Amino acid sequence: MAQKSSAAVAAETSQEPVSASGTIPFETLKVQKVNLEDFPNRLPIGIFAFGERLQELEFHPYTTEHDILLTRKGNEDLKDTMGRFLPEIIKTIGGHSLNDIARELGQGSPKKLVERMYLADVLTTVLNIRLATVGEDVAIRDKCPNCSTKIEDNDENGYHDLGTVEMGIIPLLEEKPIFEINLEKGFRVANDTATTIHVEPFKLFQMSKLKGTPQKQIMRRMMYEMVCGIPDIPAFAGIKSGLFSDNEYAALGKNLDDRDRLNEAAETLLSVGPRMSINLICDACSFEYSSALPWQDVDNFLSQSARASARRMDL
Ligand SMILES: [Zn+2]
């Protein structure tokens, strides 16, 4: 067994794994746009373990037991469902089993490891499983926002191609993606002024924290969740989540340039991973728009029978 790093040991006793590495200046982050089909079976961010960036996905064959797992009682949200399902279908990431990676990172179980994966990586995994189990055809049903012409994919009309889904990837990343943002004026907490913020891409388990959040607050709340360090504030030292809230946001006050910098950073980080939508061109008026993938019903989306049932029910 690999020697446990002190960070791994610390992570076992705290809520959040502690980063052993330094931070990366946010300005150096470059997100590249590709299509899913041009980046097959690879995570756009990846897992950092064994001194490597693990990105390559290898799956076990899909079986009926996976159907059972996906529809199990108690799968309340994406975190639960993926926490149970992904450890059973992923064979390796970057050539290592999830068991080995979880052990190396001190995360207790593959389920915990999956829950702490970046959402961008989890969604990419979902789409690659769908490609492997059902194929590239995806049934879209929508209406052109410009001329109201309906799109109804079926065997007669044809299907849309999942491989055309756009995704953002981070081509170059040598260490865990913890980025440092420097604010111009910053904000005050107690007697300290914070001008440095550390952010990390949004993780799967943080989805659960957004439950019940009004739509208009979602982007801001996701930004709060991505803040993983405020090194200028001694009172926050050692705390790894829940650092940023309406209090800190309000403390930015008139510093709207700083506010914009934080929001832009959050948007850039959220542009990594697949857009869970298909780009369409209306046959009638050539209007270009995008339509959401029917992935929210994730068990149906991933199941072997999805295509057959889509035919049967003419979804
Ligand atoms: Zn149209």
Read off the amino acid at residue 292. Answer: A
Please tell me what DSSP assigns to residue 3: P
- Closest by CA to 295, choosing from 119, 40, 173, 117, is 119
Average pLDDT over residues 269-293: 94
In the Cβ-directed half-sphere of 284, how many Cα atoms lie within 13 Å?
9
Segment holding 8, helix H or strand E:
helix 6-13
Cβ-based burial of 297 (10 A; exposed 0-12, middle 13-18, buried ≥19):
exposed
Tell me how far the alpha carbon of residue 290 lies from the centroid of ligand 1, in angstroms: 12
- 207-245 per-position pLDDT tens digit: 999 999 999 999 999 999 999 999 998 888 877 778 999
Given a cut of 60, whether residue 28 has pLDDT beyond it is yes
Cβ-based burial of 172 (10 A; exposed 0-12, middle 13-18, buried ≥19):
exposed
- Could you tell me the pTM of the whole model? 0.88
* Structure-derived torsion over alpha carbons of residues 9, 13, 14, 15, reported in degrees to the nearest 10: 110
Tell me how far the alpha carbon of residue 285 lies from the centroid of ligand 1, in angstroms: 4
Segment holding 198, helix H or strand E:
strand 192-199
pLDDT at 93: 98
pLDDT at 296: 83
Q: Which residues crowd ion ligand 1, with CB under 5 Å?
A: 144, 146-147, 149, 282, 284-285, 287
* Structure-derived torsion over alpha carbons of residues 76, 78, 79, 84, reported in degrees to the nearest 10: 80
Tell me how far the alpha carbon of residue 315 lies from the centroid of ligand 1, in angstroms: 21
Average pLDDT over residues 1-21: 42
Average pLDDT over residues 61-71: 90
Tell me how far the alpha carbon of residue 283 lies from the centroid of ligand 1, in angstroms: 7
- 102-117 per-position pLDDT tens digit: 999 999 999 999 999 9
* Structure-derived torsion over alpha carbons of residues 272, 276, 101, 209, reported in degrees to the nearest 10: 90
pLDDT at 17: 41
Tell me how far the alpha carbon of residue 136 lies from the centroid of ligand 1, in angstroms: 24
Tell me how far the alpha carbon of residue 291 lies from the centroid of ligand 1, in angstroms: 13
**How far is residue 281 from each of residues 34, 147, 286, 291, measured CA to CA in Å?**
19, 12, 5, 10
Tell me how far the alpha carbon of residue 11 lies from the centroid of ligand 1, in angstroms: 53
pLDDT at 299: 85
Tell me how far the alpha carbon of residue 147 lies from the centroid of ligand 1, in angstroms: 4
**Residue 296 CA to chain centroid, in angstroms?**
14
Tell me how far the alpha carbon of residue 251 lies from the centroid of ligand 1, in angstroms: 46
Provide the pairing of β-strand 42-49 with 52-59: antiparallel
Return the number of other C-beta atoms located less than 10 Å from residue 101's C-beta. Answer: 21
Runs of H (alpha helix) within 187-315 = 206-209, 218-226, 246-251, 256-270, 298-302, 306-313
